[in-house]
């Protein structure tokens, strides 16, 4: 029996009853040595869709419980669980090289990109998978033979104009973004990060009066009084300042200022909110538990939201003081979710927006689309089918398979042959990118956070201009080097020791991922605040280079290109869903030639493109006019070349 080594990354998130039998079959065919990596612990909400787990497992490591479950019916298999983050430095390229195949079921885009780059560097096949509601997919990625995970663009997270978030919210999602990205970040995140929590008024000086001082907690100040002061400033004073701009409210409903004293008398918080005991078990800190609120699907009234807001803030400063200044919102951090839910609801009440439960707020804040067990079961089986092909080196049979919500040509599963690597991909084809940015206004910090980390997914970047090293991250740096790089972060690009201006070529590298990217800088003076909120535009890697001018892609045909198929569900936003492919499919498993779609003469596919775009199923969120559409269907994409 052949010994095969597999690395499973969060893959049991897709495992259900069918998945267990599928993996058992895989393990029966090969003597498998499996390693599982996952940093998650089991939550009650996992139990309805992840059938390896039981009520008694809540709070335990997913990786360890999954190992124990599988060993009960396949005791001869060697499985090593890691309760860890796959982005930890010890899971490097050498670690990945020991495996025959990587099976990835991680639940966020950043981690998927990281794994994709490690697999490319290690030259190990990757089987990607994901589900979103009734949609799912399994894809195979082999260096040099198929497109990598990043060859095709992923739907960008929904963004909102700053003025809408800070001044004129009209939907609950606006309140959640404000609570998560502004208030939570201001109170518990990096103090040096720019953050405007003050609603704009005609008198800018008045609107920002003592703004920074308001958020500073004095050492001798009672924590509850501090919480009330924050509450009054953001929900009371700021709203009053917004109302002073009468022009803003001519065609809008005016918000109402809310002060803590009007909602929660002192005697009430003294009776209900002072029983806060400091504990070493950070996971047990919960405002809901302290206040006796049990059901996360209940919609709290304004008084309950106010209590949760004050209590959560107290728990952060009492139990988790050491983390303050370094926290970022995490949907799996219960206390963070409680605080954001309460803050969003109080703001919603001020702007006459319907309140929502913690369950709903968490879904919005974490971009969560709730899973369906049957979809997970189907995808689990597909993962194993492709893994067996990889282990048998049956490259001719590789398929990218998409699970649809509704039948198309009487099929719910849409198999498609893998495509060649995208020659414009900056990851596997090393194609340079282009960045439009105001080099006289944007700082190096903006470039690092908004482009290098957020767009390119690098964790430990190194940035060079010619031979000059502008920025580096690492544990082996000297103190003077760290101080020098931190100083560079605060400088605008054109004032760096090696100035970055229009025409500059920057080299950005992540040593852990063994990923290098060249970025051509183009200076641009102005940006549209609503359409280009980052103040910079990265381009050059989101579409393939044309190979034949007359070989247009038939995006209305599901078999023609992966771009016309459902997007990768692992990265789908909460209020986005794609409808099934409706026409032009071929029989599952059949090989398709270019002649099947084009006779070589120019063909007008505009109707096909329109049909595909019209077939996108658009969900409405909160309001009739809240539409979110995936915008990466490109009618000018050239037909990709088939694998030999």
Q: In the sheet where 400-408 sits, what is the strand order?
A: 78-82, 31-37, 3-9, 101-104, 126-132, 135-141, 400-408, 411-416
User: Is pLDDT of 287 > 60?
Assistant: yes
More confidently predicted of 152 and 493: 493
pLDDT of residue 269: 47
Q: Which residue has the higher pLDDT, 571 or 515?
A: 515
260 is in an annotated binding site: no
Which pLDDT score, from 0 to 100, does residue 594 have?
29
What does the pLDDT average to over 438-448?
Answer: 94
- Quick: pLDDT tens for 386-433: 998 998 899 999 999 999 988 888 888 999 999 999 888 888 887 889
**Reported confidence tier of residue 248, pLDDT bands at 50, 70, 90:** confident
Which CATH number among 3.40.47.10, 3.10.20.30, 3.10.290.20, 3.30.830.10 corresponds to the domain 433-539?
Answer: 3.10.290.20
**Alpha carbon of 512 to those of 96, 121, 563: distances in Å?**
12, 10, 30
Whether residue 311 has pLDDT greater than 50: yes
What class, spelled out in words, does domain 170-352 have in CATH? mainly alpha
d(CA 259, CA 256): 10
State the Cα torsion 551-589-3-65 to the nearest 10°: 100
Q: Is 47 annotated as a binding residue?
A: yes
Strands 31-37 and 433-437, sheet pairing: unpaired
Q: Which residue has the higher pLDDT, 494 or 194?
A: 494
Question: Do 490 and 448 contact (CB within 8 A), yes or no?
Answer: no
Using CA atoms, how far residue 166 sits from 47, 238, 568, in Å, is 38, 10, 32
Question: Per-residue pLDDT tens for 15-51?
Answer: 433 444 445 445 545 555 566 677 777 777 677 777 7
Tokens, residue 154: 């992923």
What's the CA gap between 268 and 318, in Å, rounded? 20
Q: Which of 142, 97, 90 is nearest to 118 (CA)?
A: 97
Active-site residue, selected from the candidate residues 163, 175, 301, 517: 163
List phi, psi (to 5°) of 327: -80, 145
The average confidence (pLDDT) of the chain is 76
428 is in an annotated binding site: yes
The residue with tokens 């995808």 is 379
- Residue 271, annotated ligand binder? no
Band (581; pLDDT cuts 50, 70, 90): very low
Q: How much is the average pLDDT of 215-243? A: 89
Instruction: Tell whether the model's pLDDT for residue 437 goes beyond 70.
Output: yes
Confidence category of residue 3, pLDDT binned at 50, 70, 90: low
Question: For the whole prediction, is pTM greater than 0.85?
Answer: no
Residue 352 has pLDDT above 90, yes or no: yes
CATH code reported for the domain at 8-156+369-416 = 3.40.50.720
148 is in an annotated binding site: yes
Task: Give domain limits for the chain.
Answer: 8-156+369-416, 170-352, 433-539, 544-640
Mean pLDDT of 546-550: 38
Confirm if 448 and 489 have CB atoms less than 8 A apart.
Answer: yes
The string of pLDDT tens digits covering residues 156-191 is: 667 777 788 888 899 999 999 999 999 999 999 887
Residue 18 designated active-site: no
**Mean pLDDT in residue range 63-73:** 83
């Amino acid at each position: 029996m052949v010994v095969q080594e597999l690395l499973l990354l969060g893959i049991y998130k897709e495992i259900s009853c069918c998945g267990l039998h599928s993996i058992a079959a895989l393990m029966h065919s090969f003597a498998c040595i499996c390693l599982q990596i996952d940093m998650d612990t089991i939550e009650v909400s996992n139990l309805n869709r992840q059938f390896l787990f039981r009520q008694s497992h809540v709070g335990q490591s997913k990786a360890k419980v999954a190992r124990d479950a599988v060993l009960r019916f396949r005791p001869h298999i060697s499985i090593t669980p890691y309760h860890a983050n796959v982005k930890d430095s010890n899971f490097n390229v050498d670690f990945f090289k020991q495996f025959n195949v990587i099976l990835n079921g991680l639940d966020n885009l950043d981690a998927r990109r990281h794994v994709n780059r490690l697999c490319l560097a290690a030259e190990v096949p990757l089987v990607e998978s994901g589900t979103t509601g009734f949609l799912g997919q399994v894809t195979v990625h082999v260096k040099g033979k198929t497109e990598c995970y990043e060859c095709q663009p992923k739907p960008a997270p929904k963004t909102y104009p700053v003025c809408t978030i800070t001044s004129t919210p009209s939907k609950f999602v606006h309140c959640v973004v404000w609570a998560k990205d502004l208030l939570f970040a201001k109170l518990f995140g990096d103090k040096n990060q720019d953050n405007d929590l003050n609603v704009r008024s005609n008198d800018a000086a008045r609107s920002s009066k003592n703004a920074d001082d308001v958020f500073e907690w004095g050492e001798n100040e009672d924590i509850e009084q501090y919480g009330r002061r924050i509450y009054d400033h953001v929900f009371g004073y700021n709203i009053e300042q917004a109302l002073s701009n009468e022009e803003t409210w001519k065609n809008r409903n005016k918000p109402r200022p809310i002060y803590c004293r009007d909602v929660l008398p002192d005697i009430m918080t003294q009776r209900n909110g002072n029983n806060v005991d400091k504990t070493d078990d950070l996971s047990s800190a919960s405002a809901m538990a302290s206040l006796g609120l049990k059901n996360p699907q209940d919609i709290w009234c304004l008084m309950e939201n106010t209590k949760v807001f004050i209590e959560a803030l107290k728990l952060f400063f009492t139990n988790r003081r050491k983390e303050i200044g370094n926290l970022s919102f995490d949907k799996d951090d219960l206390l963070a979710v409680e605080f954001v839910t309460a803050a969003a609801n109080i703001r919603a009440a001020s702007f006459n927006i319907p309140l929502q439960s913690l369950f709903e707020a968490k879904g919005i804040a974490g971009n969560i689309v709730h899973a369906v067990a049957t979809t997970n079961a189907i995808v689990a089986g597909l993962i194993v089918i492709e893994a067996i092909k990889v282990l048998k080196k049956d490259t001719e049979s590789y398929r990218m398979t998409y699970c649809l919500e509704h039948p198309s040509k009487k099929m719910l599963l849409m198999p498609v042959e893998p495509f060649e690597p995208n020659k414009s991909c900056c990851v596997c084809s090393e194609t340079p990118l282009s960045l439009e940015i105001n080099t006289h206004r944007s700082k190096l910090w903006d470039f690092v956070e908004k482009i290098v980390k957020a767009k390119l997914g690098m964790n430990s970047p190194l940035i060079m201009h010619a031979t000059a090293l502008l920025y580096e991250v690492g544990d082996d740096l000297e103190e003077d080097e760290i101080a020098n790089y931190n100083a560079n972060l605060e400088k605008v690009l054109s004032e760096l020791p090696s100035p970055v201006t229009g025409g500059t070529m920057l080299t950005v590298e992540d040593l852990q991922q063994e990923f290098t990217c060249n970025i051509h800088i183009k200076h641009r003076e102005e940006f549209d605040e609503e359409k280009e909120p980052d103040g910079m535009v990265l381009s050059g890697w989101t579409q393939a280079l044309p190979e034949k001018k007359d070989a247009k892609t038939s995006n209305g045909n599901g078999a023609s290109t992966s771009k016309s198929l459902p997007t990768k569900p692992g990265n789908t936003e909460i209020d986005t869903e794609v409808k099934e492919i409706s026409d032009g499919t071929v029989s599952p498993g059949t090989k398709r030639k270019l002649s099947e779609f084009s006779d070589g003469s120019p063909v007008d596919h505009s109707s096909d493109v329109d049909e595909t775009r019209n077939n996108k199923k658009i969900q409405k969120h909160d309001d009739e006019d809240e539409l979110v559409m995936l915008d990466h269907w490109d009618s000018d994409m050239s037909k990709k070349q088939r694998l030999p």
